[in-house]
Chain A
Amino acid sequence: MIQKNYYKAIIIGGSAGSFPVITEILANLPKDYPIPIIMCLHRLKDIREGFSEALNAKSAVLVEEPYDKQKIKGNRVYLAPSNYHMQIELGNTFALSTDIMVKHSRPSIDVLFESAAYNYGKKAVGIILSGANSDGAQGLKTLKSKGGFAIAQDPEESRITTMPKAAMKATTVDKVLETKDIIRFLKKLV
């Protein structure tokens, strides 16, 4: 049973092959989607700009890269800025960090998911999309162990299956979904 208006945040991790999935999800959510969507997507470190602009062009919900200590709100999609880890801080704000890379990544999906797990507990939804490494598996496991709801993109549909498969191996996910069903699921939450 999925409870309406229960979840406080939707946390998404993706890497190679996830960009079209993300754009499709964002293109299909209403402008006033009330649950904050917090994303960590691997990208080239050198590309500081253009990424959130590209997402904004497709998304009805406003996409932004947060500043350190910025308050987390609904009707927003947040994207981890390039070259920083993004964490959720007590009091529902963002905390950025330049700490060493985790599994060769900064931003790291594990770091985001773990901090979301500790701050939102049962009220977090975690989604791992297509990608060519295992970042996010540990984080999704922690999120699940704190009572959160874990989803992996269906490897049948994923362009690159390593990441969703690693997540499914690390923990028992609640659902394995194709993009269109992820969208349907997110709409049912509100």
Chain B
Amino acid sequence: MVEDLQLNDIRKLTDRVMEKYGYDFKDYALASFKRRIIFILNEQELRSIDDLLERILNSEKAFNQFLSDLTVNTTEMFRDPEFWSYLSKEVIPKLKNSKIKIWHAGCSSGEEVYSMAILLKELDMLDKVTITATDISNSILDKAKKGSYTLSKMETNRKNYEKFGGTGKLEDYYSLNGRIASMNQDLLKNVLFVEHNLASDGNVLGKFDIIMCRNVMIYFNSNLQDKVYRLFHKSMSSGGHLAIGIRESMVWSSIANKYLCLNQKEKVFKKIEE
């Protein structure tokens, strides 16, 4: 069992991964990053960073597996139901443009995207909206596209949906095959899934009216966080909205004074200055 790692071991890993594959992990927040690596080492019964490097530098398949194990992918539909109620009552109905663009940055296995599509459908706005959903990991994006979730996950999702105040039943939006729920694919008709790395892809994907980046930047150090905030700022339409996780704070970021906090509890901000 590996119980702890030295800082220079972690540096070695991030440097070699950067050299070989171009993924930049050096600005990930240390505590969680270290826990993930220790978890991977122990699960694969590896004894050191060198053993891990040997495995992932010699096989792209092993690296892809590493990539998806390294990032924290836990998510739920309508996670923080009050946040979604707020969005559905106070934010989205007030968007008056004829076309609305939404970006989910770090969409993980898609639950957040399906939640948004359901919310829009219930507001009868699904056809007005195009959604770009991005994540660093291609294998997680494949899961998102498929939209197949276990029944035990659907139980959590259902409870959240009810607290959110959905107008129908969550069952209306999926079909059951055995113990797997498959989300209705028509929810995705205006959704584009794109592989995108917030740590290195500085290119603007478009101008968005809503950018959601919830529980993603908690895994970054403040340096990288600020870089991502600036990217969001550049990618935000004027008067656009930014939503971050409910235990995140943007007061320390360099763009904070260009945003108005619309809801301190649910962490929704509005761009008021270019």
Quick check: B72 and A97 within 8 Å, CB to CB?
Answer: yes
A88-B31, A142-B3 given; A99·B36 CB < 8 A: yes
Asked if residues A69 and B252 are in contact (CB atoms below 8 Å), the reply is yes
| Residue A6 lies at the interface, judged by CB distance under 8 Å to chain B | no
A115 CA / B252 CA spacing, docked (Å) = 24
The reply to whether A87 and B31 contact each other, CB–CB distance below 8 Å, is: yes
Instruction: Determine the residue in chain B with the shortest Cβ distance to A142.
Output: B3
Q: Write the nearest CB–CB distance from A122 to chain B, whole angstroms.
A: 16
| Contact call A99/B29, Cβ cutoff below 8 A | no
Contacting B74 at CB < 8 Å: which of A66, A69, A95, A99?
A99
Given known contacts A69-B252, A98-B72, A142-B3, A89 and B30 CB-to-CB distance under 8 angstroms: yes
Tell me the residues in window 4-30 of chain A with beta carbons closer than 8 Å to chain B beta carbons: none
B225 to A, closest residue via Cβ: A69
Bound Cα distance from A111 to B38, whole angstroms = 13
The reply on B169 being an interface residue by CB < 8 A is no
How far is B218's CA from A70's CA once the two chains are assembled, in angstroms?
Answer: 11
Known: A68-B218, A69-B252, A115-B31. A96 touches B247 (CB 8 A): yes
Determine if B4 is an interface residue (Cβ-Cβ < 8 Å).
yes
Q: Note all chain B residues with C-beta closer than 8 A to A69.
A: 222, 225, 249, 252
Q: Which chain B positions have C-beta within 8 A of A89?
A: 29-31
Contact between chains at B32 and A99 (CB < 8 Å): yes
Size of A's binding interface in residues, CB under 8 A: 24
Chain A residues, Cβ within 8 Å of B3: 142
Q: Are B218 and A95 closer than 8 Å at their CB atoms?
A: yes
Determine the distance from Cα of A48 to Cα of B79 in the docked complex, in whole angstroms: 12
**28 chain-A/chain-B pairs, Cβ below 8 angstroms:** A48-B82, A67-B247, A67-B248, A67-B249, A68-B217, A68-B218, A69-B225, A69-B249, A81-B247, A84-B247, A87-B31, A88-B31, A90-B30, A95-B29, A95-B31, A95-B32, A95-B218, A96-B218, A97-B31, A98-B72, A98-B75, A98-B218, A99-B32, A99-B36, A99-B72, A99-B74, A115-B31, A142-B3
Q: Is A57 interfacial (CB 8 A cutoff)? A: no
Compute how far the CA of A118 lies from the CA of B75 in the bound complex, rounded to whole angstroms.
28
Bound-complex Cα distance A164 to B31 (A): 26
Q: Determine if B35 is an interface residue (Cβ-Cβ < 8 Å).
A: yes
Q: Which residue of B lies closest to A85 (CB)?
A: B32
Cβ contacts under 8 Å, A48 to chain B: 80, 82
- Bound-state CA distance A89–B28 (Å) is 12
B36, B74, B247: most-surrounded residue (chain A CB, <10 A): B247
- A-chain residues with CB within 8 Å of residue B217 when the two chains form the complex: 68
**B215 close to chain A: CB less than 8 A:** yes
In the bound complex, CA of A67 to CA of B249 (Å) = 6
**Highest count of chain A CB atoms <10 Å: which of B31, B74, B218, B248:** B31
- Considering only residues 217-238 of chain B, those with a C-beta below 8 Å from chain A are 217-219, 222, 225
Nearest CB on A from B124, distance (A): 30
Asked whether A98 lies within 8 Å of B249 as measured between CB atoms, the reply is no
A98 touches B30 (CB 8 A): no
Is A100 on the interface with B (CB-CB < 8 A)?
A: yes
